[in-house]
């Protein structure tokens, strides 16, 4: 949890901004901003991401059931109609759009997130740990490469309408991009690499010798665990969060295997040359020298 909180402060936070903000688009982008002071704060819409994870873990529904009706909470009339997942809530229209998206619900989502932490600390910890654990197992390639991204379609139609025909005829929009075959390779390699790193750490701990591959494995393990805690606990488990990190485990495993192979070849070479070095060659003037 400390890793998740620390990572959220670093990754989800931004400097406090000033200037004009254009929230007209579905993505809620900042059209113009200037850094004024080094003050950590949630990025715009950041509480909405945490709200989404709590929504799919049932925390939002429990909070609304216990506090509605409440004139302050716009979501009370919709508490029995909320989608099951954060992605459905945030990106597929429905209630979120009806209530004004981030502009209309940002303060309410912030309120529910903070107050649910106060009222259900153990439940928050339990669901965060469960989400972090699930995130470790979600490493498949190709997440998001589908044809159900309505918010993106809306942005394209509104701001670059000339690109709509090309978008509609793209292989992605016709459902022709498949990742099943490549994931039959990627996913086993990813899991195998993570287990291999654990093996390196166990061997190093038992031998008391942390060589360079072991130190690299330790660093990568911490990074993958921190990523799982930060992304899984704050935003909810998604394959894209794991896939963008797990390749480092495969890279580390490859380095360790190459280093071990090199050491093995060097040892064989030394054993092969050992008899030669055991009988020094006598030079022309009676001196001895190595072969």
Strands (E), 182-282: 281-282
Distance CA 137, CA 78 (A): 33
**158 plus 44 within the same structural domain:** yes
Q: What is the pLDDT of residue 187?
A: 97
Q: What is the pLDDT of residue 149?
A: 76
Strand partners, 282: 288
Is position 277 within any domain?
Answer: no
Is position 30 within any domain?
Answer: yes
Least confident of 21-35, 40-54, 189-203: 21-35
User: What pLDDT, in 10s, does the model give residues 157-207?
Assistant: 999 999 999 988 888 888 888 899 999 999 999 999 999 999 999 999 999
**21 plus 163 within the same structural domain:** yes
**pLDDT above 90: residue 124:** yes
**150 plus 238 within the same structural domain:** no
Which residue reads 């502009």 in tokens? 103
- Please report the DSSP string for 69-102 in residue order: S-TT-TTGGGTTS--SSHHHHHHS-THHHHTTHH
- Domain of residue 257: give its range: 180-271
**73 plus 197 within the same structural domain:** no
Question: DSSP character for 207?
Answer: H
**pLDDT above 80: residue 147:** no
**146 plus 212 within the same structural domain:** no
**43 plus 93 within the same structural domain:** yes
Percent of the chain with pLDDT over 90: 57
Is position 285 within any domain?
Answer: no
Last residue of a domain, one of 141, 168, 195: 168
Is position 287 within any domain?
Answer: no
Asked whether 140 and 246 are in contact (CB, 8 A), the reply is no
User: What pLDDT, in 10s, does the model give residues 212-233?
Assistant: 999 999 999 999 999 999 999 9
Q: How many CB atoms lie within 10 A of CB 78?
A: 16
**102 plus 204 within the same structural domain:** no
**pLDDT above 60: residue 56:** yes
Q: What's the average model confidence in pLDDT over 47-62?
A: 94
Last residue of a domain, one of 122, 146, 168: 168
Write phi, then psi, for 208 (nearest 5 degrees). Answer: 70, 20
Q: What's the average model confidence in pLDDT over 26-43?
A: 48
**119 plus 188 within the same structural domain:** no
Write phi, then psi, for 191 (nearest 5 degrees). Answer: -65, -40
- What confidence category does residue 8 fall into, taking pLDDT thresholds of 50, 70 and 90? very low
Is position 98 within any domain?
Answer: yes
Is position 48 within any domain?
Answer: yes
Tally of structural domains, the chain: 2
- What confidence category does residue 93 fall into, taking pLDDT thresholds of 50, 70 and 90? confident
Distance CA 193, CA 217 (A): 10
Q: What's the average model confidence in pLDDT over 262-271?
A: 86
**163 plus 187 within the same structural domain:** no
Distance CA 61, CA 63 (A): 5
**190 plus 159 within the same structural domain:** no
**200 plus 241 within the same structural domain:** yes
- Please report the DSSP string for 242-262 in residue order: HHHHHHHHHHHHHHHHHHHHH
Q: What is the pLDDT of residue 43?
A: 67
How high is the mean pLDDT of the chain?
82
**pLDDT above 90: residue 46:** no
**pLDDT above 80: residue 40:** no
Is position 283 within any domain?
Answer: no
**91 plus 8 within the same structural domain:** yes
Q: What is the pLDDT of residue 284?
A: 55
Q: What is the pTM of this model?
A: 0.72
Give 33-39's long-range contacts (Cβ < 8 A, gap of 24+): 39/15
**pLDDT above 80: residue 12:** no
């Amino acid at each position: 949890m400390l890793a998740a909180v620390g990572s959220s402060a670093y990754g989800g936070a931004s400097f406090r901004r000033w200037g004009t903000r254009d929230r007209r688009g579905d993505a809620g982008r900042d059209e113009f901003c200037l850094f004024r002071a080094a003050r950590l704060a949630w990025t715009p819409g950041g509480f909405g991401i945490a709200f989404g994870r709590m929504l799919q873990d049932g925390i939002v529904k429990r909070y609304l059931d216990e506090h509605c009706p409440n004139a302050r909470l716009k979501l009370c009339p919709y508490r029995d109609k909320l989608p099951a997942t954060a992605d459905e809530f945030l990106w597929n229209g429905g209630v979120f759009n009806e209530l004004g998206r981030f502009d209309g619900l940002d303060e309410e989502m912030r309120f529910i997130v903070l107050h649910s932490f106060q009222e259900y600390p153990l439940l928050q910890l339990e669901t965060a740990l469960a989400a972090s654990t699930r995130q470790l197992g979600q490493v498949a390639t190709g997440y998001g490469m589908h044809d159900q991204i309505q918010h993106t379609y809306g942005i394209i139609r509104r701001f670059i309408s000339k690109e709509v025909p090309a978008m509609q005829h793209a292989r992605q929009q016709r459902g022709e991009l498949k990742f099943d075959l490549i994931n039959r390779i990627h996913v086993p390699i990813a899991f195998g690499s993570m287990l291999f790193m654990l093996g390196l750490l166990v061997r190093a701990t038992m031998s008391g010798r942390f060589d360079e591959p072991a130190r690299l494995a330790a660093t990568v393990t911490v990074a993958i665990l921190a990523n799982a805690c930060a992304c899984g606990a704050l935003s909810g488990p998604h394959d894209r969060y794991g896939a963008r990190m797990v390749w480092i485990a495969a890279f580390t495993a490859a380095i360790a295997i190459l280093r071990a192979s090199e050491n093995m070849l060097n040892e064989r070479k030394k054993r092969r040359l050992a008899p030669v070095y055991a009988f020094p060659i006598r030079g022309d003037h009676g001196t001895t020298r190595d072969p």
